[in-house]
C-alpha cells in the first residue's frame, strides 16, 4: 500500500491553521474588550467576565471543530488514496510540489522539528521526481551526463519547477529553462536541487555540502567542472556550502570554477527587516500582540534573510553596502533594469548574460 501520510498531514495542518487564526482573533477581541471594560471601572466587571467567558467558548468551539473536521477528512481521504497503487505523494505532483515548497519556506523549520511528512529533504530532481544520489540511479536519470555540471539552487518558497517559470510565454516551451538551453548550446549537464527553504541557511548549506560531495563521487562520468547557480536565498545557501567545503577540504570544492548569484540578498532583504521591525512594534500593545506572535511564527529561513522585490535591492545583490562589503567581483556582475526578482529565474535577457558567462 502507498504511504498517504502526507494527505493526513496536509489536512491536519489546514485544521491547525484555522484554529490558529481563530485563536489570534480571540486574543485580539479579548484585548480590545479588556481596554473597553477597563474604562468602566469595577461596575463593568460582571459584563466583562460574561463577555470573556462567551468569547472563549465560541472560539474554542470553532477552533476545535476545525481541527477535528480536518483530521477526520484527512483520514478518510488518505484511506481512499491508499487503495490506489498509482498514488503519488503531494510533493511529487506538479501543483503539490509548488504548494509544499511554499509551505516549507514559510514554516519548514516547524515541519522538520515536528517530523511532519510534508517537510522536504534536500534532493536532486528530474522531471518532478527525486533522484537518489547513487551511481546507477544517476546514470538512469542523466543518460547523456557530461563532466561539466551546473547545479541550480532555488530561492525561498520556490522549488526545482521555479526554474521553468514562464517558459511557455518566453520560449513556447513550458519545460524550457536556463539549464536546458545551456545544455543544448554548451553541453553542460544541469542538475536541479530542491530543499526545505524554511530551515536555517547554514543548515541548508551543510546539506548542500553533503549532497555535492555525494554527487561528485557518484556522478556517471568524472566531473571536470562544477558551476553553481543560485536564485535569491539559493545563492546564500551556496555561499554557506562553499564555506563548509573550504573548512573541511571537501572533495567537490576544487571543481567549482564558476558561481552565479541571481538576485541573492548578500546584505539582507528589506522585506524581512521590515517584518522584524513590524513584529517588535506590534508586540507593544495588547491588542496587536497576537498579530505579532503570528508574524513571529515565520520560519528561521525567512528570518535569516534579515542579515543575509523589490525583494533584493542592487546594493544587497552586489554585496556592496555602506557599512558592509563582501568583496564580490561586482565588475563581473550585471544589472538588468526593468526585470523583477522572479524574472531572473527564466527570462531571455537573463539567459543571454548566462550564456555569455558560461559558454566559454
Nearest to 252 by CA among 203, 211, 197: 211
Residue pair 242/202 in contact (Cβ under 8 Å)? The answer is: no
Highest mean pLDDT among 77-86, 234-243, 313-322: 234-243
The pLDDT, as a whole number, for residue 276 is: 58
Among 87, 106, 138, residue at a domain's last position: 87
Determine the structural domain holding residue 33 and report its residue range.
5-87
Q: How far is CA 254 from the centre of its chain?
A: 28
Contacts of 155 (CB under 8 A, 6+ apart): 162, 197, 230, 231, 232, 233, 234, 263
Average pLDDT over residues 120-141: 96
Could you give the number of structural domains in the chain?
Answer: 2
Indicate which CATH number applies to the domain containing 154. 3.40.50.1820
The pLDDT, as a whole number, for residue 163 is: 97
Position 53 pLDDT exceeds 60: yes
Q: 13 and 137: one domain?
A: no
Q: What is the mean pLDDT of the chain?
A: 79
Helices (H), 306-347: 314-318
Beta strands in 72-166 (DSSP E): 123-126, 129-131, 148-153
The pLDDT, as a whole number, for residue 310 is: 42
Q: Residue holding cell 479588556?
A: 34
- pLDDT 10s digits, 203-229: 999 999 999 999 999 999 999 999 999
Q: Could you tell me if residue 73 is inside a domain? A: yes
Q: Could you tell me if residue 49 is inside a domain? A: yes
Q: Which residue has the higher pLDDT, 348 or 269?
A: 348
Stated pTM of the model: 0.77
The pLDDT, as a whole number, for residue 59 is: 47
Q: 76 and 145: one domain?
A: no
Q: Could you tell me if residue 161 is inside a domain? A: yes
Amino acid at each position: 500500500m502507498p504511504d498517504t501520510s502526507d494527505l493526513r498531514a496536509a489536512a491536519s495542518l489546514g485544521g491547525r491553521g484555522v484554529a490558529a487564526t481563530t485563536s489570534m482573533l480571540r486574543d485580539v477581541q479579548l484585548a480590545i474588550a479588556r481596554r473597553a471594560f477597563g474604562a468602566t471601572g469595577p461596575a463593568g466587571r460582571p459584563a466583562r467576565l460574561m463577555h470573556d467567558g462567551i468569547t472563549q467558548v465560541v472560539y474554542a468551539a470553532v477552533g476545535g471543530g476545525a481541527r477535528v473536521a480536518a483530521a477526520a477528512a484527512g483520514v478518510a481521504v488518505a484511506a481512499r488514496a491508499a487503495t490506489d497503487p498509482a498514488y503519488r505523494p503531494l510533493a511529487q505532483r506538479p501543483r503539490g510540489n509548488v504548494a509544499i515548497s511554499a509551505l516549507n519556506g514559510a514554516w519548514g523549520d516547524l515541519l522538520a522539528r515536528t517530523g511532519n511528512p510534508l517537510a522536504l529533504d534536500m534532493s536532486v530532481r528530474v522531471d518532478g521526481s527525486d533522484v537518489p544520489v547513487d551511481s546507477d540511479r544517476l546514470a538512469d536519470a542523466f543518460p547523456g551526463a557530461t563532466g561539466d555540471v551546473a547545479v541550480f539552487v532555488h530561492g525561498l518558497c520556490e522549488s526545482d519547477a521555479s526554474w521553468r517559470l514562464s517558459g511557455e510565454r518566453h520560449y513556447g516551451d513550458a519545460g524550457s529553462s536556463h539549464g536546458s538551453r545551456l545544455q543544448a548550446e554548451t553541453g553542460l549537464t544541469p542538475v536541479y536541487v530542491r530543499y526545505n527553504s524554511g530551515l536555517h541557511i547554514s543548515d541548508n548549506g551543510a546539506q548542500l555540502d553533503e549532497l555535492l560531495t555525494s554527487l561528485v563521487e557518484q556522478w556517471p562520468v568524472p566531473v571536470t567542472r562544477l558551476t553553481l547557480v543560485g536564485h535569491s536565498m539559493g545563492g546564500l545557501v551556496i555561499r554557506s556550502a562553499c564555506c563548509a567545503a573550504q573548512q573541511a577540504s571537501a572533495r567537490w570544492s576544487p571543481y567549482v570554477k564558476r558561481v552565479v548569484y541571481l538576485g541573492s540578498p548578500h546584505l539582507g532583504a528589506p522585506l524581512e527587516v521590515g517584518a522584524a521591525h513590524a513584529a517588535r512594534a506590534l508586540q507593544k500593545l495588547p491588542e496587536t500582540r497576537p498579530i505579532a506572535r503570528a508574524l513571529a511564527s515565520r520560519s528561521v529561513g525567512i528570518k535569516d534573510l534579515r542579515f543575509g522585490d523589490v525583494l533584493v535591492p542592487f546594493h544587497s545583490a552586489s554585496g556592496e553596502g555602506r557599512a558592509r562589503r563582501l568583496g564580490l567581483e561586482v565588475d563581473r556582475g550585471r544589472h538588468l533594469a526593468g526585470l523583477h526578482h522572479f524574472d531572473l529565474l527564466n527570462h531571455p535577457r537573463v539567459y543571454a548574460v548566462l550564456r555569455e558567462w558560461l559558454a566559454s
